[in-house]
Structure 1
Protein backbone atom coordinates (compact mmCIF):
# COMPACT_ATOMS: atom_id res chain seq x y z
CA UNK A 1 0.00 0.00 0.00
CA UNK A 2 1.44 3.35 -1.08
CA UNK A 3 0.84 6.10 1.47
CA UNK A 4 0.97 9.88 1.22
CA UNK A 5 1.71 11.59 4.56
CA UNK A 6 0.32 15.11 4.86
CA UNK A 7 1.16 17.25 7.88
CA UNK A 8 2.51 20.77 8.28
CA UNK A 9 4.81 19.61 11.10
CA UNK A 10 7.97 17.81 10.00
CA UNK A 11 8.24 15.98 13.33
CA UNK A 12 4.77 14.51 12.85
CA UNK A 13 5.70 13.24 9.39
CA UNK A 14 8.91 11.70 10.73
CA UNK A 15 6.99 9.97 13.52
CA UNK A 16 4.74 8.23 11.02
CA UNK A 17 7.81 7.22 9.01
CA UNK A 18 9.33 5.66 12.12
CA UNK A 19 6.13 3.77 12.96
CA UNK A 20 6.04 2.19 9.49
CA UNK A 21 9.79 1.82 8.97
CA UNK A 22 9.88 -1.95 9.41
CA UNK A 23 6.45 -2.68 7.93
CA UNK A 24 7.13 -3.89 4.40
CA UNK A 25 3.41 -3.89 3.49
CA UNK A 26 3.32 -0.09 3.67
CA UNK A 27 5.38 2.31 1.59
CA UNK A 28 5.45 6.07 2.12
CA UNK A 29 5.58 7.26 -1.47
CA UNK A 30 5.48 11.02 -0.79
CA UNK A 31 4.97 13.77 1.79
CA UNK A 32 3.22 17.14 1.77
CA UNK A 33 3.07 19.98 4.28
CA UNK A 34 -0.26 21.57 3.32
CA UNK A 35 -3.51 20.70 1.60
CA UNK A 36 -2.72 22.32 -1.74
CA UNK A 37 0.55 20.42 -1.99
CA UNK A 38 -1.27 17.24 -0.98
CA UNK A 39 -3.57 17.46 -4.01
CA UNK A 40 -0.56 17.92 -6.27
CA UNK A 41 1.09 14.83 -4.75
CA UNK A 42 -2.07 12.77 -5.22
CA UNK A 43 -2.04 13.65 -8.92
CA UNK A 44 1.65 12.81 -9.24
CA UNK A 45 1.97 9.66 -7.11
CA UNK A 46 -1.56 8.14 -7.10
CA UNK A 47 -1.32 6.85 -3.48
CA UNK A 48 -3.64 4.19 -2.15
CA UNK A 49 -4.14 6.09 1.09
CA UNK A 50 -3.53 9.50 2.66
CA UNK A 51 -2.70 10.09 6.30
CA UNK A 52 -4.15 13.58 6.38
CA UNK A 53 -3.70 16.24 9.05
CA UNK A 54 -6.74 18.48 9.53
CA UNK A 55 -5.35 21.83 10.68
CA UNK A 56 -2.91 23.09 8.03
CA UNK A 57 -2.14 26.36 6.25
CA UNK A 58 -3.30 27.14 2.67
CA UNK A 59 -5.97 24.40 2.66
CA UNK A 60 -7.08 22.25 5.59
CA UNK A 61 -7.61 18.51 5.52
CA UNK A 62 -11.40 18.69 5.44
CA UNK A 63 -11.33 20.74 2.25
CA UNK A 64 -8.77 18.35 0.74
CA UNK A 65 -11.24 15.50 1.32
CA UNK A 66 -13.91 17.45 -0.58
CA UNK A 67 -11.64 17.88 -3.61
CA UNK A 68 -10.53 14.24 -3.51
CA UNK A 69 -14.17 13.20 -3.92
CA UNK A 70 -14.20 14.59 -7.47
CA UNK A 71 -11.23 12.49 -8.57
CA UNK A 72 -11.87 9.36 -10.67
CA UNK A 73 -9.81 7.09 -8.40
CA UNK A 74 -9.55 8.72 -4.97
CA UNK A 75 -7.31 7.32 -2.26
CA UNK A 76 -8.66 6.24 1.11
CA UNK A 77 -8.32 8.90 3.81
CA UNK A 78 -7.32 8.59 7.46
CA UNK A 79 -7.44 11.91 9.30
CA UNK A 80 -4.80 12.71 11.91
CA UNK A 81 -5.06 15.56 14.39
CA UNK A 82 -4.22 16.70 17.89
CA UNK A 83 -7.63 18.35 18.32
CA UNK A 84 -10.52 16.16 19.39
CA UNK A 85 -13.19 18.72 18.50
CA UNK A 86 -12.64 17.96 14.81
CA UNK A 87 -13.69 14.33 15.17
CA UNK A 88 -17.39 14.78 14.38
CA UNK A 89 -16.71 17.00 11.36
CA UNK A 90 -14.02 14.66 10.08
CA UNK A 91 -16.33 11.66 10.27
CA UNK A 92 -19.01 13.61 8.39
CA UNK A 93 -16.71 13.27 5.37
CA UNK A 94 -17.00 9.48 5.68
CA UNK A 95 -13.23 9.13 5.98
CA UNK A 96 -11.84 5.65 6.49
CA UNK A 97 -10.43 6.49 9.91
CA UNK A 98 -9.53 9.13 12.45
CA UNK A 99 -6.38 9.07 14.57
CA UNK A 100 -5.56 11.31 17.51
CA UNK A 101 -1.99 12.51 17.98
CA UNK A 102 0.36 11.32 19.27
CA UNK A 103 -0.37 8.36 17.00
CA UNK A 104 0.32 4.91 18.44
CA UNK A 105 1.58 2.18 16.16
CA UNK A 106 -1.15 -0.30 17.11
CA UNK A 107 -3.91 2.19 16.19
CA UNK A 108 -2.18 3.19 12.97
CA UNK A 109 -1.74 -0.38 11.73
CA UNK A 110 -5.35 -1.24 12.60
CA UNK A 111 -6.63 1.76 10.60
CA UNK A 112 -4.38 0.94 7.65
CA UNK A 113 -5.61 -2.65 7.60
CA UNK A 114 -9.23 -1.47 7.56
CA UNK A 115 -8.46 0.89 4.69
CA UNK A 116 -6.73 -1.85 2.72
CA UNK A 117 -10.00 -3.78 2.53
CA UNK A 118 -11.84 -0.97 0.70
CA UNK A 119 -12.23 -1.10 -3.05
CA UNK A 120 -12.28 1.93 -5.39
CA UNK A 121 -16.07 2.28 -5.38
CA UNK A 122 -16.23 2.24 -1.59
CA UNK A 123 -13.51 4.91 -1.31
CA UNK A 124 -15.34 7.12 -3.81
CA UNK A 125 -18.64 6.73 -1.99
CA UNK A 126 -17.11 7.57 1.38
CA UNK A 127 -15.44 10.73 0.14
CA UNK A 128 -18.45 11.84 -1.87
CA UNK A 129 -20.73 11.97 1.16
CA UNK A 130 -19.34 15.17 2.63
CA UNK A 131 -21.62 17.61 4.42
CA UNK A 132 -20.44 19.96 7.22
CA UNK A 133 -16.84 19.87 5.96
CA UNK A 134 -17.73 21.81 2.84
CA UNK A 135 -18.86 24.84 4.83
CA UNK A 136 -15.25 25.98 5.07
CA UNK A 137 -14.39 25.44 1.43
CA UNK A 138 -11.95 28.09 0.23
CA UNK A 139 -10.85 26.91 -3.21
CA UNK A 140 -12.06 25.68 -6.58
CA UNK A 141 -9.97 22.84 -7.95
CA UNK A 142 -9.47 22.82 -11.74
CA UNK A 143 -7.23 21.04 -14.22
CA UNK A 144 -5.46 23.03 -16.91
CA UNK A 145 -3.06 21.44 -19.41
CA UNK A 146 -2.70 18.44 -17.13
CA UNK A 147 -1.84 20.50 -14.06
CA UNK A 148 -3.93 21.12 -10.97
CA UNK A 149 -4.97 24.73 -10.43
CA UNK A 150 -6.39 26.02 -7.15
CA UNK A 151 -8.54 29.14 -7.41
CA UNK A 152 -9.42 31.00 -4.19
CA UNK A 153 -13.19 31.34 -3.83
CA UNK A 154 -12.73 35.04 -3.05
CA UNK A 155 -11.27 35.53 -6.57
CA UNK A 156 -14.32 34.09 -8.35
CA UNK A 157 -16.81 36.44 -10.04
CA UNK A 158 -19.31 33.85 -11.23
CA UNK A 159 -19.97 30.26 -12.33
CA UNK A 160 -21.81 29.60 -15.60
CA UNK A 161 -22.98 26.19 -16.71
CA UNK A 162 -22.97 24.80 -20.24
CA UNK A 163 -24.20 21.21 -20.45
CA UNK A 164 -22.04 19.13 -18.09
CA UNK A 165 -19.24 21.71 -17.74
CA UNK A 166 -19.06 24.88 -15.65
CA UNK A 167 -16.99 27.94 -16.53
CA UNK A 168 -15.35 29.67 -13.58
CA UNK A 169 -14.78 33.38 -14.25
CA UNK A 170 -12.16 34.69 -11.84
CA UNK A 171 -9.55 37.43 -11.40
CA UNK A 172 -6.96 35.73 -13.61
CA UNK A 173 -9.30 34.67 -16.41
CA UNK A 174 -11.48 31.59 -16.65
CA UNK A 175 -11.26 27.81 -16.40
CA UNK A 176 -13.65 24.94 -17.01
CA UNK A 177 -14.49 22.46 -14.25
CA UNK A 178 -16.68 19.36 -14.14
CA UNK A 179 -18.47 20.15 -10.87
CA UNK A 180 -22.19 20.68 -11.16
CA UNK A 181 -23.76 24.07 -10.54
CA UNK A 182 -26.07 22.41 -8.02
CA UNK A 183 -23.11 21.13 -6.02
CA UNK A 184 -21.41 24.54 -6.10
CA UNK A 185 -24.62 26.25 -4.97
CA UNK A 186 -24.94 23.83 -2.07
CA UNK A 187 -21.33 24.38 -1.00
CA UNK A 188 -21.21 28.15 -1.49
CA UNK A 189 -24.75 29.38 -0.83
CA UNK A 190 -23.59 31.96 1.73
CA UNK A 191 -21.33 33.69 -0.79
CA UNK A 192 -23.03 33.11 -4.17
CA UNK A 193 -26.56 33.71 -5.41
CA UNK A 194 -28.35 32.01 -8.29
CA UNK A 195 -29.53 34.42 -10.98
CA UNK A 196 -30.42 31.87 -13.65
CA UNK A 197 -30.65 28.10 -13.96
CA UNK A 198 -27.19 28.26 -15.54
CA UNK A 199 -25.44 30.89 -13.39
CA UNK A 200 -24.27 31.67 -9.85
CA UNK A 201 -22.75 35.07 -9.08
CA UNK A 202 -20.65 36.12 -6.09
CA UNK A 203 -22.83 38.34 -3.91
CA UNK A 204 -19.91 40.65 -3.16
CA UNK A 205 -19.25 41.16 -6.90
CA UNK A 206 -22.72 42.32 -7.92
CA UNK A 207 -22.52 46.06 -8.62
CA UNK A 208 -26.07 46.61 -9.87
CA UNK A 209 -28.70 45.78 -12.46
CA UNK A 210 -29.19 46.85 -16.06
CA UNK A 211 -31.64 46.14 -18.89
CA UNK A 212 -30.97 44.75 -22.34
CA UNK A 213 -32.45 46.42 -25.45
CA UNK A 214 -35.31 43.90 -25.31
CA UNK A 215 -36.00 44.55 -21.63
CA UNK A 216 -34.24 41.57 -20.04
CA UNK A 217 -32.75 42.23 -16.57
CA UNK A 218 -29.00 41.74 -16.28
CA UNK A 219 -26.55 41.68 -13.39
CA UNK A 220 -23.55 43.99 -13.69
CA UNK A 221 -20.37 42.77 -12.07
CA UNK A 222 -17.74 44.85 -10.30
CA UNK A 223 -14.37 45.29 -12.08
CA UNK A 224 -15.30 43.34 -15.22
CA UNK A 225 -17.50 44.16 -18.21
CA UNK A 226 -19.45 40.89 -18.20
CA UNK A 227 -23.21 41.20 -17.74
CA UNK A 228 -25.26 38.10 -17.02
CA UNK A 229 -28.95 37.71 -17.71
CA UNK A 230 -31.31 37.17 -14.78
CA UNK A 231 -34.10 34.69 -15.46
CA UNK A 232 -37.69 35.82 -14.84
CA UNK A 233 -37.92 33.31 -12.02
CA UNK A 234 -35.08 35.03 -10.12
CA UNK A 235 -35.69 38.70 -10.95
CA UNK A 236 -37.66 39.55 -7.80
CA UNK A 237 -35.10 37.89 -5.52
CA UNK A 238 -32.14 39.60 -7.23
CA UNK A 239 -33.81 43.02 -7.15
CA UNK A 240 -34.53 42.56 -3.45
CA UNK A 241 -30.93 41.50 -2.81
CA UNK A 242 -29.51 44.55 -4.61
CA UNK A 243 -31.95 46.90 -2.85
CA UNK A 244 -31.32 45.55 0.66
CA UNK A 245 -27.54 45.27 0.61
Structure 2
Protein backbone atom coordinates (compact mmCIF):
# COMPACT_ATOMS: atom_id res chain seq x y z
CA UNK A 1 0.00 0.00 0.00
CA UNK A 2 1.14 3.50 -0.88
CA UNK A 3 0.79 5.96 2.01
CA UNK A 4 0.73 9.76 2.20
CA UNK A 5 1.57 11.31 5.61
CA UNK A 6 -0.19 14.57 6.48
CA UNK A 7 0.70 16.33 9.75
CA UNK A 8 1.85 19.85 10.58
CA UNK A 9 4.33 18.43 13.12
CA UNK A 10 7.57 17.20 11.46
CA UNK A 11 8.39 14.92 14.40
CA UNK A 12 4.97 13.28 14.14
CA UNK A 13 5.57 12.59 10.44
CA UNK A 14 9.00 11.18 11.21
CA UNK A 15 7.60 8.83 13.85
CA UNK A 16 4.83 7.64 11.57
CA UNK A 17 7.28 7.07 8.70
CA UNK A 18 9.61 5.11 10.98
CA UNK A 19 6.82 2.87 12.25
CA UNK A 20 5.41 2.30 8.77
CA UNK A 21 8.88 1.31 7.54
CA UNK A 22 8.71 -1.65 9.94
CA UNK A 23 5.53 -2.99 8.31
CA UNK A 24 5.45 -5.22 5.24
CA UNK A 25 4.19 -4.01 1.87
CA UNK A 26 3.92 -0.36 2.97
CA UNK A 27 5.57 2.50 1.05
CA UNK A 28 5.46 6.15 2.12
CA UNK A 29 5.13 8.05 -1.16
CA UNK A 30 4.90 11.59 0.21
CA UNK A 31 4.52 13.96 3.14
CA UNK A 32 2.58 17.17 3.68
CA UNK A 33 2.33 19.73 6.47
CA UNK A 34 -1.11 21.10 5.57
CA UNK A 35 -4.16 20.42 3.46
CA UNK A 36 -2.99 22.41 0.43
CA UNK A 37 0.27 20.46 0.27
CA UNK A 38 -1.64 17.23 0.89
CA UNK A 39 -3.94 17.75 -2.12
CA UNK A 40 -0.94 18.49 -4.32
CA UNK A 41 0.93 15.39 -3.08
CA UNK A 42 -2.19 13.26 -3.47
CA UNK A 43 -2.65 14.27 -7.11
CA UNK A 44 1.06 13.72 -7.79
CA UNK A 45 1.45 10.32 -6.10
CA UNK A 46 -2.06 8.74 -5.98
CA UNK A 47 -1.64 7.04 -2.57
CA UNK A 48 -3.92 4.24 -1.44
CA UNK A 49 -4.00 5.50 2.16
CA UNK A 50 -3.71 8.95 3.75
CA UNK A 51 -2.52 9.00 7.36
CA UNK A 52 -4.02 12.30 8.42
CA UNK A 53 -3.78 14.60 11.42
CA UNK A 54 -7.07 16.29 12.34
CA UNK A 55 -5.99 19.54 13.99
CA UNK A 56 -3.93 21.54 11.49
CA UNK A 57 -3.63 25.23 10.54
CA UNK A 58 -6.10 26.21 7.83
CA UNK A 59 -8.26 23.38 6.52
CA UNK A 60 -8.72 20.70 9.18
CA UNK A 61 -8.12 17.01 8.63
CA UNK A 62 -11.88 16.37 8.69
CA UNK A 63 -12.43 18.94 5.93
CA UNK A 64 -9.51 17.51 3.94
CA UNK A 65 -10.95 14.01 4.24
CA UNK A 66 -14.22 15.27 2.77
CA UNK A 67 -12.29 16.78 -0.17
CA UNK A 68 -10.38 13.55 -0.73
CA UNK A 69 -13.63 11.58 -0.76
CA UNK A 70 -14.58 13.40 -3.97
CA UNK A 71 -11.71 11.81 -5.89
CA UNK A 72 -12.16 8.64 -7.94
CA UNK A 73 -10.81 6.41 -6.64
CA UNK A 74 -10.85 7.97 -3.17
CA UNK A 75 -8.08 6.98 -0.76
CA UNK A 76 -8.64 5.22 2.54
CA UNK A 77 -8.24 7.78 5.35
CA UNK A 78 -6.74 6.93 8.74
CA UNK A 79 -6.90 9.77 11.24
CA UNK A 80 -4.15 10.35 13.75
CA UNK A 81 -4.80 12.87 16.52
CA UNK A 82 -3.89 13.72 20.09
CA UNK A 83 -7.57 14.15 21.01
CA UNK A 84 -10.32 11.54 21.23
CA UNK A 85 -13.28 13.95 20.98
CA UNK A 86 -13.08 13.87 17.17
CA UNK A 87 -14.14 10.21 16.96
CA UNK A 88 -17.75 10.87 15.88
CA UNK A 89 -16.70 13.49 13.31
CA UNK A 90 -14.11 11.02 11.98
CA UNK A 91 -16.79 8.34 11.72
CA UNK A 92 -19.08 10.69 9.82
CA UNK A 93 -16.29 11.44 7.33
CA UNK A 94 -16.02 7.68 6.65
CA UNK A 95 -12.53 7.22 8.06
CA UNK A 96 -11.06 3.73 7.87
CA UNK A 97 -9.14 4.11 11.12
CA UNK A 98 -8.62 6.38 14.12
CA UNK A 99 -5.33 6.45 16.03
CA UNK A 100 -4.39 8.50 19.08
CA UNK A 101 -0.97 10.13 19.38
CA UNK A 102 1.64 9.09 20.13
CA UNK A 103 1.04 6.33 17.60
CA UNK A 104 1.58 2.85 18.99
CA UNK A 105 3.19 0.36 16.62
CA UNK A 106 0.74 -2.46 17.39
CA UNK A 107 -2.31 -0.25 16.82
CA UNK A 108 -0.86 1.12 13.58
CA UNK A 109 -0.08 -2.41 12.41
CA UNK A 110 -3.62 -3.53 13.28
CA UNK A 111 -5.19 -0.74 11.21
CA UNK A 112 -3.06 -1.47 8.14
CA UNK A 113 -3.59 -5.20 8.51
CA UNK A 114 -7.33 -4.52 8.51
CA UNK A 115 -6.99 -2.32 5.42
CA UNK A 116 -5.09 -5.05 3.59
CA UNK A 117 -7.77 -7.62 4.44
CA UNK A 118 -10.62 -5.30 3.54
CA UNK A 119 -9.33 -4.34 0.11
CA UNK A 120 -10.80 -7.47 -1.45
CA UNK A 121 -13.77 -7.55 0.91
CA UNK A 122 -14.71 -4.01 -0.08
CA UNK A 123 -14.48 -4.82 -3.76
CA UNK A 124 -16.65 -7.89 -3.26
CA UNK A 125 -19.17 -5.91 -1.23
CA UNK A 126 -19.34 -3.16 -3.85
CA UNK A 127 -19.72 -5.71 -6.64
CA UNK A 128 -22.52 -7.39 -4.71
CA UNK A 129 -24.27 -4.09 -4.08
CA UNK A 130 -24.07 -3.24 -7.78
CA UNK A 131 -25.56 -6.57 -8.82
CA UNK A 132 -28.31 -6.26 -6.22
CA UNK A 133 -29.11 -2.72 -7.30
CA UNK A 134 -29.45 -3.87 -10.91
CA UNK A 135 -31.76 -6.71 -9.87
CA UNK A 136 -33.55 -4.60 -7.23
CA UNK A 137 -32.65 -7.23 -4.63
CA UNK A 138 -31.85 -6.80 -0.94
CA UNK A 139 -28.21 -6.89 0.09
CA UNK A 140 -26.71 -9.89 1.78
CA UNK A 141 -24.44 -7.84 4.03
CA UNK A 142 -24.08 -4.39 5.55
CA UNK A 143 -20.95 -2.33 5.15
CA UNK A 144 -20.24 0.59 7.49
CA UNK A 145 -17.39 2.71 8.80
CA UNK A 146 -16.49 3.23 12.43
CA UNK A 147 -13.62 4.83 14.32
CA UNK A 148 -12.01 1.37 14.34
CA UNK A 149 -12.30 0.93 10.57
CA UNK A 150 -14.64 -0.62 8.06
CA UNK A 151 -16.89 -3.46 9.16
CA UNK A 152 -18.91 -6.00 7.19
CA UNK A 153 -21.94 -7.66 8.78
CA UNK A 154 -24.11 -10.33 7.13
CA UNK A 155 -27.80 -9.49 7.16
CA UNK A 156 -28.41 -13.03 8.41
CA UNK A 157 -26.56 -12.16 11.65
CA UNK A 158 -28.68 -9.09 12.51
CA UNK A 159 -31.17 -9.64 15.35
CA UNK A 160 -32.74 -6.20 15.12
CA UNK A 161 -32.30 -2.64 13.88
CA UNK A 162 -32.72 0.15 16.42
CA UNK A 163 -32.98 3.89 15.75
CA UNK A 164 -31.67 6.37 18.31
CA UNK A 165 -31.84 10.02 17.26
CA UNK A 166 -30.25 10.22 13.79
CA UNK A 167 -28.31 6.95 14.03
CA UNK A 168 -29.44 3.38 13.40
CA UNK A 169 -27.71 0.37 14.96
CA UNK A 170 -27.70 -3.16 13.57
CA UNK A 171 -27.63 -5.33 16.70
CA UNK A 172 -26.14 -8.82 16.51
CA UNK A 173 -25.10 -11.45 19.04
CA UNK A 174 -21.62 -9.93 19.52
CA UNK A 175 -22.44 -6.24 19.56
CA UNK A 176 -23.75 -3.67 17.14
CA UNK A 177 -22.83 -1.81 13.99
CA UNK A 178 -23.65 1.89 13.53
CA UNK A 179 -25.24 2.57 10.14
CA UNK A 180 -25.66 5.67 8.02
CA UNK A 181 -29.14 4.61 6.84
CA UNK A 182 -32.68 5.31 7.98
CA UNK A 183 -34.92 2.70 9.57
CA UNK A 184 -37.48 3.27 6.80
CA UNK A 185 -34.91 2.49 4.11
CA UNK A 186 -33.96 -0.72 5.90
CA UNK A 187 -37.61 -1.66 6.38
CA UNK A 188 -38.32 -1.21 2.66
CA UNK A 189 -35.26 -3.18 1.58
CA UNK A 190 -35.60 -6.08 4.04
CA UNK A 191 -39.39 -6.28 4.35
CA UNK A 192 -39.37 -10.07 3.94
CA UNK A 193 -36.81 -10.61 6.71
CA UNK A 194 -37.68 -7.98 9.33
CA UNK A 195 -40.88 -6.76 10.94
CA UNK A 196 -41.50 -3.40 12.61
CA UNK A 197 -42.42 -3.60 16.29
CA UNK A 198 -41.95 0.05 17.24
CA UNK A 199 -41.34 3.33 15.46
CA UNK A 200 -37.68 2.85 16.40
CA UNK A 201 -37.18 -0.89 15.91
CA UNK A 202 -37.26 -3.69 13.33
CA UNK A 203 -36.68 -7.31 14.41
CA UNK A 204 -35.48 -10.32 12.43
CA UNK A 205 -38.23 -12.88 11.91
CA UNK A 206 -35.64 -15.67 11.81
CA UNK A 207 -34.68 -14.98 15.46
CA UNK A 208 -38.10 -14.01 16.81
CA UNK A 209 -39.07 -16.42 19.62
CA UNK A 210 -41.95 -14.71 21.37
CA UNK A 211 -43.27 -11.82 23.45
CA UNK A 212 -42.57 -11.18 27.13
CA UNK A 213 -43.71 -8.63 29.68
CA UNK A 214 -41.47 -5.65 30.36
CA UNK A 215 -43.56 -4.03 33.11
CA UNK A 216 -47.17 -2.93 33.58
CA UNK A 217 -48.76 -2.78 30.15
CA UNK A 218 -45.37 -3.04 28.45
CA UNK A 219 -43.97 -5.84 26.30
CA UNK A 220 -40.74 -6.65 24.54
CA UNK A 221 -39.71 -9.27 22.00
CA UNK A 222 -37.70 -12.35 22.88
CA UNK A 223 -34.93 -12.90 20.34
CA UNK A 224 -32.51 -15.80 20.00
CA UNK A 225 -28.99 -14.79 21.00
CA UNK A 226 -30.06 -11.50 22.63
CA UNK A 227 -30.44 -11.12 26.39
CA UNK A 228 -33.04 -8.35 26.20
CA UNK A 229 -34.96 -7.53 23.04
CA UNK A 230 -36.42 -4.13 22.12
CA UNK A 231 -39.80 -2.94 23.39
CA UNK A 232 -43.00 -3.38 21.38
CA UNK A 233 -45.31 -0.39 20.93
CA UNK A 234 -49.03 -0.77 21.64
CA UNK A 235 -49.74 0.03 18.01
CA UNK A 236 -47.66 -2.88 16.70
CA UNK A 237 -48.46 -5.44 19.41
CA UNK A 238 -51.64 -6.95 17.83
CA UNK A 239 -49.99 -7.41 14.41
CA UNK A 240 -46.93 -9.00 16.00
CA UNK A 241 -49.05 -11.43 17.99
CA UNK A 242 -50.89 -12.40 14.83
CA UNK A 243 -47.56 -12.85 13.05
CA UNK A 244 -46.31 -15.15 15.79
CA UNK A 245 -49.50 -17.21 15.66
CA UNK A 246 -48.91 -17.78 11.94
CA UNK A 247 -45.27 -18.65 12.43
CA UNK A 248 -44.61 -22.42 12.08
- Range of TM-score over shorter length: 0.3 to 0.5
Q: TM-score, normalised by structure 1?
A: 0.48
